[in-house]
Amino acid sequence: MSTHCANRRTYDDTPDTDEAFVRLTALPDGPERAALREELVNSWLPLSERLAGRFRDRGESLEDLRQVAAVGLLKAIDGFDPALGTPFVAYAVPTITGEIKRHFRDHMWTLHVPRRVQELRNRVRTARHELQSAGTGEPTVRELAEHTGLSETDVRDGLEALDSFRAMSLDAEQTGGTPSTYTLADTIGCEDPALDTLIDRESVKPGLRELPARERKILYLRYFQGMTQKNIGRELGISQMHVCRLLRQCCTRLREEAMCAAPGEAA
């Protein structure tokens, strides 16, 4: 019995709750069982908080990690069967740790990443920290592959996933090596209003080629040179009214031909 207890003491402050768990399994649902369960939670809460601390500095607050670990502790207490002879600490540690890892996997990834790539990320991240701690500097892809036993392709996938855990805010400030700062949103392109004009110009080109030379010149002088109808008429030797009528006829013809050609082009 003493040897069993010695093997069970993996932490200095591991509470002795063997008898409490035996009583818990024998009690029916009710106030007495609820009170004993709460007592067990309070006894083992330091362990869950210590396990939560192992995952700090990974993008989640320590307080939230402690809450997730506490959920894992509750699951461990409710699922533990002392009749199997396994020490509670041996059952609780993987249960709590698993709950924390599931939290990271299911709630902390802001980009969709396949589970296999998430696992590669964890292995590559751990290997990189180990090699950096050994004083070799930033490890290469080949060194990471040799250390993890993964292929270099898998290592590259894991490295890319390191940047997919949490997306950067569009309001994040960037410097770009210059004294002035700007946000990430400032680097994202926007819709170019000239694109619609380009499409319209391309759609009327076939119709323009079919127009008589005088009408083409009138359109060019008016819409590309910015000349007034009066000046166009003076240059061509016709009245302003005639210029206006020709412009209206040309525009109507080109518009109708472009609209008729659109369905055929889409098909």
Tell me the pLDDT of the chain (267 aa) as tens digits. Answer: 333 443 444 455 578 899 999 999 999 999 999 999 999 999 999 999 999 888 876 667 888 889 999 999 999 999 999 998 889 999 999 999 988 888 876 665 555 556 777 788 778 888 888 888 887 778 888 988 988 899 989 888 888 777 665 555 566 665 555 556 666 666 666 666 666 677 777 888 888 888 999 999 999 999 889 999 999 999 999 999 999 999 999 999 888 887 776 544 443
List of domains in the chain: 2-107 (1.10.1740.10), 109-167 (1.10.10), 194-266 (1.10.10.10)
Cα angle 32, 38, 42; round to 5:
145
Q: Show the CA angle centred on residue 80, arms to residues 78 and 84, nearest 5°.
A: 155
Phi, psi at 41, each rounded to 5°? -60, -45
d(CA 144, CA 216): 67
Alpha carbon distance 144, 156 (integer Å): 10
What is the separation, in whole angstroms, between the first and last Cα of the chain? 84
Q: Based on the number of CB atoms within 10 Å of its own CB, is 203 exposed (0-12), middle (13-18) or buried (19 or more)?
A: middle
